[in-house]
Structures are given as C-alpha cells and as structure tokens.
Amino acid sequence: MGAIARTTGLFAFMFGLFIVIGWVVGTVFIGDWLMGMVFFIILAAAFNLIAYFYSSKIVLFSYRAKIVDERQAPRLYRIVKQVAFKANMPMPKVALVPTDTPNAFATGRNPKNAVVAATEGILKTLSDEELEGVLAHEMAHVKDRDILVMTIAATLAGAISIAARFALFSSLSGGRRDSGAGAIMLIAAITAPLAALLIQLAISRSREYKADEEGAMIIARPLSLARALEKLEAANTKKPLRYGNPASASLWIVNPFSGSGLVRIFSTHPPIAERVKRLRLMAGKMGQF
C-alpha cells in the first residue's frame, strides 16, 4: 500500500504542476486559460504513460546500459541470481553499464519487469560479499517497487523542466502582460522544477534507509553493505559520472554526480556516514562486529 500511495501521490503532484503551468501559459501567451490547461493536461497524461511503460528503457539508454547474460557477465549474473534466491524473488534482467565509476541501480515498474544494473567499475572495486550487499539493496528497491516511484519521478521531473522552460519563453516573448499573470508565469517557471526536485529528494532519502535495512537482512551481513557504501562514496567523489541525467541520480545506490558541490546540497541520498552508522548498529544487534 505504501508504494501504491507514493506512486499515486507522485502522479497527482506532477499532474497538478502541469495544470498550473498550462493555466498560466494559456492566460498569458494565448489568452485562453482553458485551452492552455487542456493542452498541458494532455501533455501530462502522455508523459505519465511514457514514464510508466517506458521509463526503464529510457534510463538504461541514457546510461548506455546493455542487458547481459550469464556468459557475458558471469560474476555479476551469479551474484544477482543468488540474491534473488535469498530474497525469494524472480530473477531480474541484468545490465552492465560501460563506465569505470563504481555504482549500481535498479529499474522497472515491478519485480517481473525489473532490471538490476551495475557498472564495470563496481566489479573492479568491490569484493563478492560487498557486491552482494549492493545488489541486495537494489533488489530491496525492486521488492518494494521503489524503483517505479523514482523512475517516474526522474522522467517527469525532466518533463516539468521542459514545461517550465516553455512557460518562461512565453513570458519573455510577449503575451497578455496586462493580465498580471506574467509575474505568476515567471514564478511558475522557476519554482516548478524546484518543486519537482524537492519531492524527489523527500521520497528518495527515506527509501534509501529502508533499502539498506532490507538489503542487509536479505544477505544477513549489514557490514558488507556498510563497507561497500564507504568504498563507493570515496570512488564516486574522486571519479563522478561524466554522462547521464542528474534527474535520475536517485536511482543509483550512491549519487554518481557527487563531485559537484551544488549536487551535494541537493543530494537525492542521505549522508553515507549516517547510512553506515545505521548498518553498523544493525550488525551489532545481530552480534556481528
């Protein structure tokens, strides 16, 4: 129910932003608020459908991820398979991302359509036990359908930004300035993308803690995941990802764009130190030191 509620709320929030922008653009640019709202309602519905059915393909394409089989990536495939078995979940598709930046993510709208992706760099950086912890974290996202929520958020956040730019262009290129809605349009153009980002942050940070806990329970070794997170934070700070869309940073186990100071301020992830602290406390309760 939690995943369904979050998904419904996300759809409603993004849909509402499209309607507000449509109303402002219709009022200022074409002088017909109803026509503007109808246009953006249709646009919102189209983006929602695209996000639901095709967002995973979009994410995989944006990071150049390739679906691989057991022959092409035997170690990665084997560990994903054993994690899926421990979690009592269907075997997801496995993808490899061609970058030395060590990281991993999962995508797909449900466990039957899930893809677990890992970079070439993470295979070089982590031990089998640490990699198992990371992949268990991603499988926890799959189990809770978090990836549907965040993939939709990433796709629609980009769409909101496009709509906001259109609103800004409309306000700068003329329109019905005497209506007083020009100022509202400027505010909407600035605040809509920020609002979309903030809702991403709120959802993403809370789900990371839960996925850490559930992933650690799947493999029964919280310290393996804790060590992996420490290694990944250090490596991604030194060697951040050079391509891809920062709007989808929340999908990765650690922020792959963490080299930027601005990205740190608007981080989609809770502090690694706090995540590691919680995992170590969890390990202590299990008698592991």
Instruction: Please state the domain extents for the chain.
Output: 2-285
CA distances, 176 to each of 27, 32, 168, 171, 180 (Å) = 7, 10, 14, 9, 8
User: pLDDT tens across 119-177, in order?
Assistant: 999 999 999 999 999 999 999 999 988 877 766 666 666 666 666 666 666 666 655 45
DSSP run (H or E) holding 96 = strand 93-97
Residue 33 has pLDDT above 70, yes or no: no
Residue 264 has pLDDT above 70, yes or no: no
Q: Tokens representing 229?
A: 């997170």
Overall pTM > 0.85:
no
CA nearest neighbour of 132 among 226, 65, 208: 226
CA nearest neighbour of 59 among 165, 150, 164: 150
Q: Which residue numbers are catalytic?
A: 138
Helix (H, G, I), strand (E, B) or coil at 6: helix
Pairing of strands 104-107, 115-119: antiparallel
CA distances, 87 to each of 15, 82, 93, 117, 142 (Å) = 35, 9, 15, 17, 11
Residue 261 has pLDDT above 60, yes or no: no
- DSSP structural state of residue 179: G
Which residues on neighbouring strands pair with residue 67, listed in sequence order?
A: 95
User: pLDDT tens across 209-247, in order?
Assistant: 989 999 999 999 999 999 999 999 999 989 898 888 776
Average pLDDT over residues 174-189: 56
Residue 178 has pLDDT above 50, yes or no: no
